[in-house]
Amino acid sequence: MKKLFLFLLATSLSVATFAQTKWTVDPMHSFVNFSVKHSGISFVDGSFKKFDGEIVASNADLTDAKINFTADVASINTSVDMRDNHLKSDDFFNAEKYPKMTFVSTSFKKVKGNNYVLNGKLTIRDVTKDVTFAVVYGGTAKDQQGNTKAGFLATAKINRLDYNIKYDPTGAGIAKDVNITLNLQFAQAK
């Protein structure tokens, strides 16, 4: 009887140890923003209003996290309709042909404290490139309904020309580098 109890205890501990936790993005408390230099003197800020993402991890510190994220290109918003429509055209994203941008992680490594490095594959249009995000993990908290939430700030810089976005290839009017800032909150699946 004692051996059976120990076997059941060991089995339940090993299952708990390898249990995966799934987190889904909370769009009401998340923001997908970008900024690009304009005319060499100022910046244009924008965002994507429709997006989705998930994290699956077994480790409490998320170092084994698998992260997937998509953004709906047609949801781009720079607060100027004419510019937004141009960004949706083939000069930039070609939202009709390539409706989604995707990110799939390849690693999520803890650097120190709450600082992480997130590596993955970013696909814009028909091009997939390696990209690295600096991530600050804000921690977890319970909301008023008792749901566990986790917060992250992730930043990266990409060259838009790497993704077949060829409008203004000199970068004189619209800079080549685009700064990406993601303020994301995820809800733990129950």
pLDDT digits (tens, 9 = 90+) for 152-184: 999 999 999 999 998 999 999 999 999 999 999
Mean pLDDT is lowest, of 1-15, 20-34, 117-131, 152-166, for 1-15
Read off the pLDDT of each residue in 41-66 and give the average, rounded to a whole number. Answer: 94
Residue indicated by tokens 């998340």: 30
Burial class (CB in 10 A: 0-12, 13-18, 19+), 173: exposed
pLDDT digits (tens, 9 = 90+) for 19-49: 799 999 999 999 999 999 999 899 999 999 9
Both tokens of residue 79? 């607060």
Both tokens of residue 163? 């993704």
pLDDT of residue 65: 94
Q: Which amino acid, residue 12?
A: S
CATH architecture for segment(s) 20-188: Beta Barrel (2.40)
User: Model confidence at 129, in pLDDT bands (50, 70, 90)?
Assistant: very high
Domain ranges of the chain: 20-188
Read off the pLDDT of each residue in 85-107 and give the average, rounded to a whole number. Answer: 97
User: Model confidence at 63, in pLDDT bands (50, 70, 90)?
Assistant: confident
Q: Which of 56, 87, 59, 62 is nearest to 74 (CA)?
A: 87
Q: What are φ and ψ of residue 158, in 5° steps?
A: -125, 160
Answering whether pTM is above 0.85, one says yes
The percentage of the chain sitting over the pLDDT mark of 90, rounded to a whole number, equals: 85
**Which residues 6+ apart lie within 8 Å of 153 measured at CB?**
135, 136, 138, 181, 182, 183, 184
- What average pLDDT does the structure give for the chain? 91
